[in-house]
Amino acid sequence: MKIRIAKLPGDGIGPEVVEQAVKAVDAVCERFGHSVEYTFAKVGACAIEEFGSAYPESTHKICMESDAVLFGAVGDPKYDNDPTSKVRPEQGLLAMRKQLGLFANLRPVETFKALVHNSPLKEELVDGADFLCVRELTGGMYFGEKGRLDNGDTAFDTNIYHRNEVERILKLAYGYAMKRRKHLTVVDKANVLESSRLWRQIAQEMAPLYPEVTTDYMYVDNAAMKLVTGPKFFDVLVTENTFGDILTDEASCVSGSMGLLASASVGEHTGVYEPIHGSYPQAAGKNIANPLATILSAAMMFEYAFGLAEEGKAIREAVSASIDAGFTTEDLGGTRSTSEVGDWVSARIKSSGK
């Protein structure tokens, strides 16, 4: 198979971790006989500096012409410390999702035996946890009308959802639940928010279409508590944009590190595969960042974008082997650099195929 990948490293540690994922992709393609072509493009702060836009048209064109997007991170202290800035790196990520029609973010959360002690939660709570967060990605407050009133002293953000947006994300979530343990948890705040009541109404309408799936409903505050007191309860969790953003970051405490959580953003056009951690500018250029989440995002790319389960499995097995061997960066208790971990994983992928 010929694979075309748009490579968007972005800001901060993005270039370093994406480079390690590229090593893994190259190793898989060599082992399984695929050819791969990368096209580099800028997004985030680096794109603002050159183009004045966090997601320039040239970058969008490259994404549209590719089979998948391998993405690093966006964000820069220059913009974080300037609340008056009209153009921000994060706008590039939102624009990319919107223009590519990526309405669903998929974040699998699982534990590694060798790292259950690394979680701030008790080992008996997290050992064996394995669930998928499905977050609606192009609606809600992040994209609703927003602004300032009263000479800037009053601010508002509109949380708006349409029936078709809710139906399509629920349909996707039910599809994944059917492939897993057939349990779907719909997370909302229907006791307070009208938009959540619409979510729950539509979910109740759709649930009978999937009689094999057990559907339950949970308020977001209860779900947040359940993630840290009983994460093994969840199989597939689906929720709206803002709640999903918060809950999926909270879920990183289950695996023990944000540096282990991969994600896929999918929808109408080219899917984007990225780690959930940010740009971590303090570590940029130091070769200390954990690349495993980005490498695992590449595994998701093979599985979701290309339907190549064995290739994704090869990456996952190599990542697990590196963790079992203690060949990790300092956040996981290891002493290895970013590039050393990337080299080890790619070598393991190649050697395991012999």
Instruction: List all residues 6 or more positions away from 124 whose beta carbon is below 8 Å from its beta carbon.
Output: none
d(CA 167, CA 162): 9
3-state secondary structure of 160: coil
Residue-wise pLDDT for 319-337, tens only, equals 999 999 999 999 888 999 9
pTM, 2 dp: 0.89
Cα 317 off chain centre by? 20
Residue-wise pLDDT for 153-171, tens only, equals 999 999 999 999 999 999 9
Residue-wise pLDDT for 25-59, tens only, equals 999 999 999 999 999 999 999 999 999 999 999 99
Buried b (16+ CB within 10 A) or exposed e, 160-170: ebeeebbeebb
Q: Are 331 and 259 in contact (CB under 8 A)?
A: yes
- Region 296-303: mean pLDDT is 97
Helical segments of the chain, H only? 14-32, 45-51, 57-64, 77-80, 89-99, 123-126, 163-179, 194-206, 220-229, 241-250, 252-255, 292-300, 309-324, 338-352
CB atoms within 10 A of CB 51: 15
d(CA 336, CA 348): 16
Backbone angles phi, psi at 69, to 5 degrees: -115, 125
Checking if the pLDDT of 305 tops 90, the result is yes
Task: List the structure tokens of 145.
Answer: 């009308």
**Catalytic residue annotation:** 142, 189, 221, 245, 249
- For each of the domains in the chain, give its residue range(s) and CATH number, in order of start: 1-105+262-354 (3.40.718.10), 120-255 (3.40.718.10)
The overall average pLDDT reported for the chain is 94
